[in-house]
Each structure stands twice: as structure tokens, then as C-alpha cells.
Amino acid sequence: MLYLYHRETRTKVLGPGERYVIWVQGCKKRCPGCINPEGRLEGQNGYWISTEKILAELKNEQGLMGITVSGGEPFLQAHGLAELVKSIKENTQLDIMLYSGYTLAELRAKHDKDINFVLEHSDILVDGEYIEELNNNTIYRGSDNQEIHFLSPRYRDFKDIIYNTHNRDLEFISRNGELFMIGIPEKGFEAKFKRAILERTNFFKEEEK
Ligand code: SF4
């Protein structure tokens, strides 16, 4: 079981190819400029979901490349995460990409069997806290202090391309009266977004006159 903030069955902006994404609820860090502050609350604001349910949804989606686990902090739920990783590896060919506010060295230093299992059976880890000043629009990374670890050989040949791509996309899902953003925004995005909404609102007001 995992306690999630959100999940989407298909996105193109958080890892290679089209991917299923889960956002785990709860994080102990408080990075200034965190794009998901609602996802930091521990034990509230989320919902429980079983490994079986996630696996069934994964299998139901055609043409996925992998699953991305973001947060919140995925490794605060290491046991549930290990259960999910084991099930994905046993039942699919999908790759596994993880985000964590802890560095790889910090995770290994915990000497936790579930954490070690997850690291041994995943393909990519993007690690470290988010530092707003180092947000340079680098693909997959919120800020350039974060490192992309190629834990398996699967994407190692693409390392240079990935590290030299300074271009990110965002996706917006409008569903049941709510708007959800997927991806890592550029520095100062919130102010730009608010300004764009305001300009559009003013435009429509003028049109109505
Ligand atoms: S580690 Fe991630 S989720 Fe946690 S506070 Fe930092 S940016 Fe937010």
C-alpha cells in the first residue's frame, strides 16, 4: 500500500517516453519554492492505494515506457515502494524512475533493506533538495544541484543528451473542475502564470463590454 497525493496514468513530461506517474504524499523537507507544498503534509491530504490497483492500471495502459515516482518524498514509504517496485519488475518490462529530496549517498547510508531493494531494482534516481536559485530549466531536474543517477544500464547511453537538454514541458489536466499541473516549472513560473491568467481575464472582460 502507498499513501498518494495524486496519480496520472499517462504523461510525457516526467521521464523518458510516456509514463504513469504517482506523487507520494508526505515530505519532511521544506525546500523554499517547492512546487508541491500540499504534497508535503504527512498522513493527510492523500489516499491509500494498493500495489495491485496500480499494477492493474499500468497494465491497462498501452505503450507506456515506465513509471515515475515523485512526491512528496517516496522513500518515507520505503516498504510500500519496495512492494510496488517488486511487483512492477515481476510483471512488466516498464522502467522505474524515482525522485527524492535525499541524495543517493544519504539513502544508502540508512542501511534500510526496503530502500536498498528499491535502488537496486530501479533505473533512474533524481536526487537532492530543490534549490530555487539553481533552477536552470534542465530536463528532469528541478535544480542543477540534483543529480540524475542511472542506476541500471537502461538509459546510460543517453546520459550526455539528458544532461545537456535545457528544455522542459508542462502538462495541465483539467478534470472535474480542478486543474492539475504535471512537470517541473521554470523559475518564476507562478508569477508568469498569474499574470497570463489576469491578462486573459481582462481580455474577456473587454470583449464582453
Ligand atoms: S524534497 Fe521535494 S517535495 Fe520535499 S520540500 Fe523539497 S521540493 Fe518539496
Instruction: Identify residue 78 by its one-letter amino acid code.
Output: A
Give percent of the chain above pLDDT 90.
88
Q: Measured between alpha carbons, how far apart are the two ends of the chain, in Å?
A: 54
| CA distance linking residue 203 with residue 209, whole number of Å | 10
pLDDT at 205: 79
Give percent of the chain above pLDDT 70.
100
CATH code of the domain occupying 2-208: 3.20.20
pLDDT at 104: 98
- Give, for ligand 1, the residue of 127, 129, 143, 145 to mutate: max count of ligand atoms closer than 8 Å to Cβ: 129
Which residues have CB under 8 Å from 136's CB, separation 6+? 143, 144, 166, 187
| CA distance linking residue 11 with residue 13, whole number of Å | 6
For the chain, the domains span 2-208
Q: What are phi and psi of 47, to 5 degrees?
A: -150, 150
Q: Does 14 have pLDDT greater than 80? A: yes
pLDDT at 71: 92
Q: Which protein residues are within 6 Å of ligand 1, measured from CB?
A: 27, 29-31, 34, 36, 40, 71-73, 101, 129-130
pLDDT at 12: 96
Lowest mean pLDDT among 90-94, 105-109, 146-150, 192-196: 192-196
Distance 201 CA to ligand 1 centre (A): 32
Q: Does 192 have pLDDT greater than 90? A: no
Residue 102 confidence class, pLDDT cut points 50, 70, 90: very high
- Give, for ligand 1, the residue of 36, 127, 145 to mutate: max count of ligand atoms closer than 8 Å to Cβ: 36
Nearest Cα neighbor of 76 from 118, 7, 148, 25 is: 25
Question: Distances in Å between the alpha carbon of 36 and those of 95, 131, 162, 209?
Answer: 24, 14, 24, 38
Which residues have CB under 8 Å from 167's CB, separation 6+? 137, 139
Distance 147 CA to ligand 1 centre (A): 15
pLDDT at 200: 82
pLDDT tens digits along 123-175: 999 999 999 999 999 999 999 999 999 999 999 999 999 999 999 999 999 99
Cβ–Cβ under 8 Å, residues 42 and 76 = yes
Q: Where are the beta strands (DSSP E) in 37-165?
A: 47-49, 66-70, 95-100, 124-127, 147-150
